[in-house]
Chain A
Amino acid sequence: AQSVSQHNHHVILSEAASLELGCNYSYGGTVNLFWYVQYPGQHLQLLLKYFSGDPLVKGIKGFEAEFIKSKFSFNLRKPSVQWSDTAEYFCAVIPFYGNNRLAFGKGNQVVVIP
């Protein structure tokens, strides 16, 4: 079964700092990749996704992620965070073939200090 690893579960940083959250997966075949975000008190929503094409994808609110196939990684970045980026971020992977089950990482709890 595929697994998804997210490191540094708790991240605390100041406004205007840069953010990078790592995501590695174990599945060797073709995959679809997602980052979801859960703001305090709100439902989980899609931040960005990669299915094919340009490995650098841009999402909402200035976030971007880069798919590096050789490293089985899909890291999320934002050059300058704001207080409103305080949230929990989840990486998710689904194999293109096989059981088509979405596997989530354990999440990164990000707190941005004003």
Chain B
Amino acid sequence: DGGITQSPKYLFRKEGQNVTLSCEQNLNHDAMYWYRQDPGQGLRLIYYSQIVNDFQKGDIAEGYSVSREKKESFPLTVTSAQKNPTAFYLCASSLSLGKVSFFGQGTRLTVV
């Protein structure tokens, strides 16, 4: 059953701690993306990757980091430098940049 898996669905962390969100896809897609969704803000692009071992900053990359060591995996680390990390995070993938994106179920991160 092909798709995108994000884990966990809910995540709680204390302020000042780094946290890594998982995103795995078995669609054999080259491109992967991380978005942040806030109420009334739509989806804002954090980082994206066209291909393995390559990634680019999106519109709101500050305080976040990513890696793309494997085609199927694109983990996002929310660092302590991110000023407002509590949000809903969505991972997506597409065959290549510009093609239809498929989304995961999302991870809701709450920092207390």
**Known A-B contacts A44-B103, A45-B103, A46-B100; A107 and B58 likewise in contact (beta carbons under 8 Å):** no
Residues of A in contact with B (beta carbons under 8 Å apart): 1, 4, 6, 9, 32, 34, 36, 42-46, 49, 90, 92, 94, 96, 100-107
CB atoms of A101 and B45 under 8 A apart: yes
Q: Check A43/B104 contact, CB under 8 A, given A101-B48, A101-B58, A104-B42.
A: yes
Complex alpha-carbon distance, A92 and B103, angstroms: 14
Q: Does B90 contact A (CB under 8 A)?
A: yes
Which of B41, B43, B58, B103 has the most A CB atoms < 10 Å from its CB? B43
Instruction: Using CB atoms and an 8 Å cutoff, list the residues of chain B in contact with chain A.
Output: 33, 35, 40-45, 48, 58-59, 90, 92, 97-98, 100-106
Inter-chain contact count A-B, CB under 8 Å?
Answer: 49
* Most chain B beta-carbon contacts within 10 A, residue among A6, A43, A92, A102: A102
A-B contact pairs, 20 of them (CB 8 A): A1-B59, A32-B98, A43-B90, A43-B103, A44-B43, A44-B90, A44-B103, A45-B103, A46-B100, A49-B100, A90-B42, A100-B97, A102-B33, A102-B45, A104-B35, A104-B42, A104-B43, A104-B44, A106-B40, A106-B42
B58 / chain A contacts, CB cutoff of 8 Å: 101
Specify the chain B residue showing the minimal Cβ separation from A103: B45
Contact of A9 among B40, B101, B103, B106 (CB under 8 A): B40
Given A102-B45, A106-B41, verify A94-B103 contact (CB < 8 Å).
no
Closest to A106 in B: B42
CB distance from A25 to the nearest CB of B (A): 13
